[in-house]
Chains A and B, each alone.
Chain A
Amino acid sequence: MACLIMAFEASAADVSEDGVKAAFILNFTKFTDWPANGPGNDPLLICSLGPRALSGNLEALQGKTAKGREVRVRGATRPSELHECQVLFIAADEEPRVEWVLQRVAKLPVLTISDVPNFVHAGGMIGLFQENDRLRFDINLAAARQSNLALSSNLLKLARTVKQ
């Protein structure tokens, strides 16, 4: 009986939305340049706000490499630790806190990503959303520039809209 269930589980291993979002986040880091005076070969720290961000899928990025840097993941980040992060993912849970958090990282070289609706209009850099059962993203280039982050033109080409 147990075998039967496991066999089914394997065939039904659909790609979860949260898993795909985690993969998007890893890819975004590959298209981003952090300011030269920042930490160079240190691990790339991806932080998340919200206790169960992407239902554990973000942790799967731990140990991967992006731009030659080892990826580290820190879940449930405290606002006082935000300056240590290179990437900040804000979970949909944290929607009421979005503006408050964005104000805190506005001048820091932190790439902000979220699946909260209208994230780029609230001042976030990359907003993920779903369209026709596929994931898409919007970019707020002005916000990235303000934080001295350079986003590759290849990334901008794939975005639905780019806010200048």
Chain B
Amino acid sequence: MMTKGNAVRPSANRIALLALLATAWSTPAAAVDSLDLNLEELMSVVVTSAAKKSQTLADTAAAVHVISAEDIRRSGATNIPEALRLAPGVQVSAIGNNKWAVSIRGFADRFANKLLVLVDGRSVYTPLFSGVMWETLGLPLENVARIEVIRGPGASIWGANAVNGVINIITRSPFDVQGSQIAAAAGSELKGHGFVRHGWSPDPDTAVAVHAKLHDVDASRRLGGGAGADDWQQFDAGFKMERLLEKGRLQVQGGAARSLAGDDVVMMTEPPAIYLERRTQRVSNGHLMGRWEGGSGTERQDSLQVYLESSDYKHAILAEQRTTADLEYQQQVKLGAAHDLTWGLGYRFSSDRIESSPLIRVAERRRATSLYSLFAQDEITLQPERWRLSVGARLEHNDYTGFVIQPNLRLLWTPSTQTSAWASLARAVRTPSRIERGGAAYLRAYPLGDPLFIQPSVVKLVSERIGDEQLDALDFGWRHQLNRSTSIDLVAFYYRYDRLRGAALTAPQPMPTGYLLIETLDNNANRARQHGIEASLDWRATADWRLQAHYGWLKTKVITADLPLQTVSDYTDTSPVHQFSLRSSLDLGSSWRWDAWLRHVSRIDNPVFGTIPAFTTLDMRLAWQARKGLELSLVGQNLLDRVHPEYGSNFIQSSPAEIQRAVYLRADWKY
């Protein structure tokens, strides 16, 4: 179902989610007998647990998809959000050329707050808004080894905010990128892209790689015509060092990135005024991370990870400086034949300084928060190679809502080597963001008066005591390997969300200068019910031709609380009901590759930004291996129409943009 080999293997040198979800069964006892056989006898032994190791994914009691580096390269994706479209059940709606609403299982927004995103185990989920600012992620796609996408709650292991899914981006080991690589691309939307990397080995046990990247993207079209304001420039440089020790290994990595993202923000202020401000969002960030792994053999593995991160965000809506320090320890230990225990401890400290703007105000300029966590998960083999149960929970303490417990129960049944079925019951929590505890923003401004009131008025969202949002999730999955070339993956889920954030309007207050101020009172009174199905088919039609199809069906019903003047929940109708993707990868001889990718997304009727019609797009890539080490490729994106909208903006409103057809040429050179 996946590419065999390392793409789906839980490699011990990273916090791979698969390593935690699936522990390969080992039966060393059985080996003793076969050791006494001679070579001829061995050659007649039928291997019953065929390809157990490379089928780790089939042994996972979760909806997991692994996007490989090869998938990314062949898709023609130019940034991480585009690459995430390769996984089933992921909604990636471009709000323009430098903003995306990325989400799993609904609740999409530019600041989708129910998805946790990690790069090599480092969280890139911002505690300011709760969400990921994808445009600030400098990490070059050329450095990505794989992206593990888990749909459904992963909170019992990864902690609060891993509510609807976890995305774990894993970068290449410097041992895998020895030598030099240069890549250059240019085209209509992607104006320029340059990447250089050099990897070397100062001594046999150590490898180092350094890289630098430049990325320049044109602005898209404004809805209704004219050039958009969403141009985007990125600069990134970093290093990764890995050293193999007597027992275990040591990794040190670091980097610095800067992103400039153009924006047209709708500013609303008090007294009521509304204006468009064209400003470039400027973000610089840097990180340094160390990771040690110890313990050889299969009985016990330890890891210790520490990182420091600093970021500087400047935009018309807000300015923020943040410093984060994070420390994590984890141990995996086998207890007898039946138990495989993983447990860990974590501490994170984050301090910030925020400058308010006319649109968004924070009550405290400086704040420092601490997060403590403890988790444990036991994988219990009920019946070897048939039934496995995993019991786990994570306990966290945060400064806003105190203790949070997030349990998870998973059961896996493998009736045969071709088939597996699983079920999961989990509770996950989203904890409040910085801005939800002591922040205010203007939602509406009517300088000339609202039809409802005669006077000019302004609506101010005041957020002071938002509490935890909670999900109770039930997931079922079924995987079947029909034959050597075809596999199917089906997932169905039923989710119940309680205590979703909401707001109720209060009585208008007449202000002395002659306008009405309508403030909101925040609460956690809204609810939601959700169910859906995700299906994937992977068919290797011939040795040279592979087809991958995904379909997702999602029904989300957000129930706005029946309270006086409660405003419609901003989670209402954010995601398409149907999403379909079909990808064909064809090898034409030994030096040509042709890829085509068709996607269909059904319409979205959002109460804030209106209707986004259904659309179908086609991307294509033709690549030619000119000679060893040199590949030239031509990529076309969004080929079926000149321009189409994919999403709008909900909370912070930028002028709506449409996505254009794009073409680029790329050269990859390795030596």
Using CB atoms and an 8 Å cutoff, list the residues of chain A in contact with chain B: 5, 8-9, 12-20, 22-24, 26-27, 31, 51-52, 55-57, 59-61, 64, 75-76, 78-80, 82, 92-97, 100, 104, 116-117, 130, 133-136, 155, 158
Contact = CB atoms under 8 A, between A and B. Distances in A.
A51 B27 CA distance: 17
Given A92-B53, A96-B6, A158-B40, A57 B31 contact: yes
Contact of A96 (B30, B48, B175): B175
Contact of B383 (A8, A134, A135): A8
Contacts of B11: 93
Given A15-B45, A92-B53, A96-B176, A27 B31 contact: no
12 contacts: A5-B383, A9-B383, A16-B26, A16-B48, A20-B47, A22-B35, A23-B35, A52-B12, A59-B297, A92-B53, A93-B5, A133-B46
Given A16-B27, A23-B42, A24-B39, A97 B50 contact: no
A64 B247 CA distance: 23
Contacts of B31: 15-16, 18-20, 22-23, 57, 60
A51 B246 CA distance: 11
A57 B26 contact: yes
B116 to A, nearest CB: 26
B204 interface: yes
B385 interface: yes
A96 B173 contact: yes
Contacts of B45: 15, 20, 134-135
B34 interface: yes
A17 B51 contact: yes
A98 to B, nearest CB: 10
A91 to B, nearest CB: 9
Interface string B269-300: 00000000000000000000000000011100
A15 B33 contact: yes
A17 B34 CA distance: 10
B607 interface: no
Given A57-B31, A92-B53, 6 more contacts: A15-B46, A27-B39, A60-B32, A79-B244, A97-B175, A117-B4
Contacts of B562: none
Contact of B28 (A17, A60, A135): A60
A39 B26 CA distance: 33
B560 interface: no
B5 A92 contact: yes
Contacts of B244: 76, 78-79
A27 B48 contact: no
Interface string B16-54: 000000001111111111110111101111111111111
B205 A79 contact: yes
A75 B382 CA distance: 29
- What size tier do the contact residues of chain B reach? 35 or more
B358 to A, nearest CB: 52
Contacts of B201: 100
B460 to A, nearest CB: 55
Given A78-B244, A95-B6, A60 B44 contact: no
A16 B52 contact: yes
Contacts of A57: 26, 28, 31
Nearest to A76: B296
Contacts of A155: 39
Contacts of B353: none
Interface in B57-106: none
A26 B27 CA distance: 18
A117 B204 contact: no
Q: Which has the most chain B C-beta neighbours within 10 Å: A16, A59, A82, A134? A: A16
Nearest to B203: A80
A55 B26 contact: yes
A116 B5 contact: yes
A20 B42 contact: yes
B384 A27 contact: no
Nearest to B27: A16
Nearest to B176: A96
A131 B51 CA distance: 11
B51 A9 contact: no
A104 B383 CA distance: 43
A16 B33 CA distance: 11
Contacts of B27: 13-14, 16, 19
